[in-house]
Amino acid sequence: MDSNTISLFKEILQGVGRLSKDGKRKGGIKAHTIIKADENVPYLIRYSEAARHGHFFLEEAHRLPKGSIITFDRGYVDYAQYDKFSENQIWYVTRLKDKAVYKSTRDFDVQSDSAVQKDEEITLY
């Protein structure tokens, strides 16, 4: 799961959209997408205003069937949604923010030649 911003306004429409750091107005939409990896096709696509944070899209993932595994980056932090995933047996893989409070409940072996640094099952607090 990831999102991407699509710029919609160029020189001709600089007066619309949100104000950026350089003083020019910019506008766009954000495409939030879940890809069904085994078929390499989109499973769910939603569009929002470009300024909307991606973690709001996590709520849409409730449509995934039990046993699904979803991966996303740490921009999607939403601990309440993580609880809902676990309750619905939707498993997720992500990187935690540095200040996350958790307890490791189980370690999994990682091959020495793998890019994976650590594989754990954890409890978030």
Give domain limits for the chain: 2-124
Check: CB of residue 17 under 8 Å from CB of residue 27.
yes
**pLDDT greater at residue 52 or residue 114:** 114
pLDDT confidence tier of residue 17, bands split at 50, 70 and 90 = low
- HSE-up (13 A, CA, CB side) for residue 115: 0
pLDDT in tens, 26-73: 567 888 889 888 888 998 898 888 777 777 888 888 778 899 999 988
Q: CB under 8 Å to 39, separation ≥6 — which residues?
A: none
Interatomic CA distance for residues 96 and 76, integer angstroms: 10
Is pLDDT above 80 for 105? yes
Question: What's the pLDDT at 9?
Answer: 62
99: burial class by Cβ within 10 Å (0-12, 13-18, 19+)?
exposed
Check: CB of residue 35 under 8 Å from CB of residue 41.
yes
pLDDT in tens, 69-96: 999 887 788 888 888 898 999 998 888 8
Is pLDDT above 70 for 20? no
Q: Among the listed ranges 45-49, 105-109, 110-114, which one has the minimum average pLDDT value?
A: 45-49
